[in-house]
Amino acid sequence: MARKKKTDVEAVAELPSNAHIAGAGFVEDQSIVRTLEENYMPYAMSVIMSRAIPEIDGFKPSHRKLLYTMYKMGLLKGNLIKSANIAGQTMRLNPHGDAAIYDTMVRLSRGNESLLHPYVESKGNFGKAYSTDIECAASRYTEAKLMPIAGELFSDIDKDTVDFVDNYDATMKEPTLLPVTFPSILVNNNLGIAVGMASNICSFNLQEVCDTAIALMKDPDHDVTTTLSAPDFPGGGIILCPPEGFGQIYETGRGSIRIRSVWHYDKSNNYIDVTEIPYTTTIEAIIGKVTELVKAGKLKEINDIRNETGIDKKTGTTNLKITIDLKRGTDHEKLMQKLFASTPLEDSFGCNFNVLIAGVPQVLGVRRLLEEWTAFRMECVRRRTYYDLSKAREKLHLYKGLQKILLDIDKAVAIVRATEEEAEVVPNLMIGFGIDQIQAEYVAEIKLRHFNREYILKRIADIEELERLIADLEDILQSRNRVKRIIVDELKEVAKKHGKPRRSQVLYLTEAPKKIEREEEEIPNYPCTLFFSEGGYFKKIQPNSLRMNNDQKYKEGDKLRQSVETTNDVELLFFSSAGNVYKTRANDFADTKASLLGDYVPGTLDFDAGENAIYMVTTRDYSGYMLFFFENGKVAKVELSAYATQTRRRKLVGAYSDKSPLVAVVHVPMDAEFMLTSTSGRRLLLHTGAIAPKTTRTTIGVQVMTLKGSHRLASVEPYRDGMVLKPARYRTKSLPAAGAMPLAEDIGEQLTLG
Catalytic positions: 141
CB 601 within 8 A of CB 536: yes
> Is the separation of the CB atoms in 253 and 521 below 8 Å?
no
Beta carbons within 8 Å of 293's beta carbon, 6+ residues apart: 299, 342, 343
With beta carbons less than 8 A apart as the criterion, state whether 600 and 537 touch.
yes
CB 56 within 8 A of CB 373: yes
Q: Of the candidates 575, 543, 733, which has an alpha carbon nearest to the alpha carbon of residue 665?
A: 575
Q: How far does CA 112 lie from the centroid of its chain? A: 19
- Pairwise CA distance, residues 617 & 538, whole Å: 12
User: What is the per-residue DSSP string for 397-462?
Assistant: HHHHHHHHHHTTHHHHHHHHHH-SSGGGHHHHHHHHHT--HHHHHHHHTS-GGG-SHHHHHHHHHH
Cα–Cα dist 243/582, whole Å: 39
Cα 364 to Cα 46, 88, 99, 215, 348, distances in angstroms: 21, 36, 33, 19, 20
Please choose, from the candidates 628, 624, 651, 649, the residue with its C-alpha nearest in 3D space to the C-alpha of residue 639: 624
CB contact at 8 A, 351 and 213:
no
Q: How are the residues of the chain apportioned to helix, strand and coil, as percentages rounded to the nearest 5?
A: 35, 25, 40
- Is the Cβ–Cβ distance between 377 and 181 less than 8 Å? yes
691 and 703 Cβ atoms separated by less than 8 Å: no
What is residue 702's three-state secondary structure?
Answer: strand
d(CA 414, CA 147) in angstroms, rounded, equals 56
Q: Residue 560 and residue 534: Cα distance in Å, rounded?
A: 6
In contact, 253 and 365? CB cutoff 8 Å: yes
Taking a C-beta distance cutoff of 8 angstroms, is the pair 558, 532 a contact? Answer: no
d(CA 502, CA 116): 10
Nearest CA to 723 out of 752, 746, 751, 753 is that of 746
Phi, psi of 215, deg, nearest 5: -65, -40
Helical (H) or strand (E) element with 87:
helix 83-90
